[in-house]
Structure 1
Amino acid sequence: MSFQRIQEKLKILADAAKYDVSCSSSGSKRSNTNKGLGDSSGMGICHSYTEDGRCVSLLKILLTNHCIFDCAYCVTRKSNDIKRAAFKVQEVVDLTINFYRRNYIEGLFLSSGIFKNADFTMERLVAVAKKLRKEENFNGYIHLKSIPGASDELMREAGLYADRLSVNIEIPTESGLKKLAPDKNREDFIKPMAKVKNEIIQYKAEKKIIRSTPKYAPAGQSTQMIIGASGENDFQIMQTSNHFYRNFNLKRVYYSGYVPISYDGRLPKIGSEVPILRENRLYQTDWLMRFYGFDVSEILNEQHQDLDLDIDPKLSWALRNLHEFPVDVNTADKRMLARIPGLGMRSVHKILNARRFRSLNWEHLKKIGVALNRAKYFMVCDSNQFEKRDLTSEKIKGFILQNSNSKYRTTLSNQLSLFG
């Protein structure tokens, strides 16, 4: 195979992979042994960041953009008139090793369209990971996108060589999937996810008894939903996320705004892209559910089915629940401190630690890093100075937005002044 042909395949299949955002290597730790290549400890994903703030990269490609399905929202659907290509297993292995040796990447994210059937495709994805681990002694990060409907045997083998596995559920609701991808069955997505969940549980149990137990998907599994293609509101989307977090122990759910790529009567019209701000609000809500102790029904419910785009979901919740405030930072428990707008979890832990030694006032909170421009409306401390409590939700919202816009204009003006 000529270099030009490999380069052409890479261009086609790397471009086709850009629509998949459900990849992250956080949580994996695979040590370099026997003087092999790479080390996935602390590494991350292309154009993303690790917990310590480092930007990292990986080779992100499809094995093929051929597909037997005709999903309305997918650029690689069989009815779409695009240029097709497919890598051989060894070609992906060679690309990964060559790119790694040149310090272009720190790992591999490999997905695929579906060749003939789920198992036929999944076998090839597993073969890539197995060759990298066994033949090339590659210890860098590998994320495999599991194929819906793949057998339990292949899912087990995949987890022995990949750091993370993921199955995209694609559309938040079963009715939406039937409308836009009638050839697909929701159960085909659930089966491999359940297998991975059970294998991880079994691995952790066996590891306690037998230290040499082979690792199984040490970075867990994740999934992705397309937002805005099938009309679900934010309440339905986050209910689905909550279901998968609770029942499949997912590490992450990713939210990908629908990008109109061609006309189809079942889809939103061309030019109706999902605002990036909506994606951002969904991620913020996801964060509140996973790390701040919020139940999804507190943020979204039948009376409040869509997130506010002009303010973040925690502030939105606080303004709808002013009866919970003000919170005394010197006596409140961790749960209520985490619900104060302007307090992140780092600040919450600093407050809990600092107040063991003295009562905290506004100056202490400012040094801790609390965003007082919004937090001051929702808390009291050891000080006679505090915001009047007769303000309505609308007034508080107006003051916070006004302050935010003012800070944005000041920052923009300072940046522009640097260019004279």
Structure 2
Amino acid sequence: MDERIREKLNILADAAKYDVSCSSSGGTRKNENKGLGDSHKSGICHTYTEDGRCVSLLKILLTNHCIYDCAFCVSRKSNNIARAAFTVEEVVSLTINFYRRNFIEGLFLSSGIFKNADFTMERLLRIVKKLRLEERFNGYIHLKTIPGASDELIREAGLYADRMSINLEMPTASGLKLLAPEKSHEDVKKPLGLVQQQIVQFKDERKLIKSIPVFVPAGQSTQMVIGASPETDKDIMHTAAAFYKEFSLKRVYYSGYIPISNDKRLPLLGSQPPLVRENRLYQTDWLMRFYGFHVNELLNDANPNLDADIDPKLSWALRNLQYFPVDINTAAYKMILRIPGIGLSSALKIVQARKFGKLRSDQLKKIGIAYNKARYFIHCADTPYQLRDYQATQIKSFILAESQSKYLKNDLKQLALF
């Protein structure tokens, strides 16, 4: 590899690591007519598939030059960092060469905004068109939408990308105004709405005309920076819920703020991002999307922030002990999903298994539930049907103590191996 290209790659791959919204689940682009590469539902971008495979992609910025000065962004124009920019041909060449060497299975392409939004978006579009039409590349492509770009450029890009995303940046308009006064949430909502409208339109047309091309088949996503502005977890998840509903997003990503400047508007967090908070937000997101929880049940004025020491489902259950214990042999599937320690697959197994007889605690353990956590909230064939005489604080302390004991035993086992 040319030394100049290698230097650019080091700079622009490092700058791209702050963007975490690069999942690819849902891509179904097929390789036809002996093209190059193949995108499928298994996923891409340094993630693990259900069968344990790790898949990867080339994740870079077209450039880290930017006309904006967002306080939380490493590529802001006032930051004193090394700058670089790829040409269209360089990005195409890197993608194809890395793919042929089996280093990657796709491309995640974003960019700082240089000159203006249309100038930047037009170059991103040229890259994906060249890959698809000239190189006949059928691997996965995740393309960042540039806020403020013209509708025509965004529509055309959607014909070649598998997924498109645009960063919301801050969870609230007030937070964005504080740290990035040149941007607005409306600049994000407009392209999200346009792409969603086109996705629905193309799907409807394909029902009548099979030759209609696919449009952003893996959908859209967005990302919020967490911890740089003073929003509560309630503010963050209400914003996420609204965007899921309005734009049918595939994912909302929560990126813990990494301190990169001494700007007085930013909080003092030490050198590490708020990873525990980030994890709790993802758990809450999962409960909203797959477990039937409404955001108001998990976060409200009385409980504006998530517990750091316990997961949000357990936190909800401890605040709502009036719903427990749940009879595991008669309860509806939706209620079983709300029991701490029982996941989606375990809940399905319980519903199927109880058709053949009443379930006991030993059977629940074999099914795979976290029984040490769930036992405080359930009734099964060999347990009494009254709620145990414990307060919420006692149950929480029991579960935390058991969890710590479990980790200690695992540590001792690992030590014994050495």
- Which one is further off, 75-84 or 48-57? 48-57
* 8 Å Cα contact 1:376/1:386 also seen in 2: no
Which residue is 1:110 aligned to?
109
Q: For 2:265 and 2:299, how far apart are their aligned partners in 1?
A: 27
* Consecutive unaligned residues in structure 2, runs of 5 or more: none
Q: For 2:316 and 2:393, how far apart are their aligned partners in 1?
A: 13
* Consecutive unaligned residues in structure 1, runs of 5 or more: none
- Letter aligned with residue 227 of structure 1: I
Q: Counterparts of 1:217-228 in structure 2 under 5 Å?
A: 217-228=216-227
* 8 Å Cα contact 2:325/2:387 also seen in 1: no
- Identity of matched residues, %: 67
Q: For 2:122 and 2:261, how far apart are their aligned partners in 1?
A: 31
Q: Counterparts of 1:267-416 in structure 2 under 5 Å?
A: 267-269=266-268, 271=270, 273-384=272-383, 389-416=388-415
- Letter aligned with residue 307 of structure 1: L
> Aligned with 1:161: secondary structure?
coil
Which residue is 1:244 aligned to?
243
How much does 1:50 deviate? 2.7
Which residue is 1:210 aligned to?
209
* 8 Å Cα contact 2:325/2:385 also seen in 1: no
How much does 1:273 deviate? 3.9
Q: Counterparts of 1:164-183 in structure 2 under 5 Å?
A: 164-183=163-182
Which residue is 2:192 aligned to?
193
Q: For 1:66 and 1:43, how far apart are their aligned partners in 2?
A: 34
Which residue is 1:14 aligned to?
13
Q: For 1:302 and 1:335, how far apart are their aligned partners in 2?
A: 25
Relative to the length of structure 1, the TM-score reads 0.97
Answer yes or no: is 1:159 the counterpart of 2:140: no
Which residue is 1:263 aligned to?
262
Which residue is 1:254 aligned to?
253
Q: How many residues align?
A: 418
Q: For 1:206 and 1:364, how far apart are their aligned partners in 2?
A: 50
- Provide Cα deviations, 1:201-260, integer angstroms capped at 9, x if missing partner: 111111211122101111000000000101111000000000100000000000000011
Q: For 2:417 and 2:315, how far apart are their aligned partners in 1?
A: 36
- Letter aligned with residue 110 of structure 1: L
Q: For 1:139 and 1:85, how far apart are their aligned partners in 2?
A: 28
> Aligned with 1:253: secondary structure?
strand
Which residue is 1:127 aligned to?
126
How much does 1:335 deviate? 1.2
> Aligned with 1:191: secondary structure?
helix
Q: For 1:59 and 1:188, how far apart are their aligned partners in 2?
A: 27
Relative to the length of structure 2, the TM-score reads 0.98
- Letter aligned with residue 286 of structure 2: W
- Letter aligned with residue 245 of structure 2: R
Q: For 1:230 and 1:407, how far apart are their aligned partners in 2?
A: 36
- Which one is further off, 79-88 or 37-46? 37-46
Q: 1:149 to 1:52 in 2, by over 3 A?
A: farther
* 8 Å Cα contact 1:376/1:387 also seen in 2: no
- Letter aligned with residue 315 of structure 1: L
- Letter aligned with residue 379 of structure 1: I
How much does 1:47 deviate? 2.4
* 8 Å Cα contact 2:222/2:251 also seen in 1: yes
Which residue is 1:232 aligned to?
231
Please provide the CA RMSD for this pair. Answer: 1.3
Q: For 1:137 and 1:210, how far apart are their aligned partners in 2?
A: 24
* 8 Å Cα contact 1:43/1:106 also seen in 2: no
How much does 1:42 deviate? 2.7
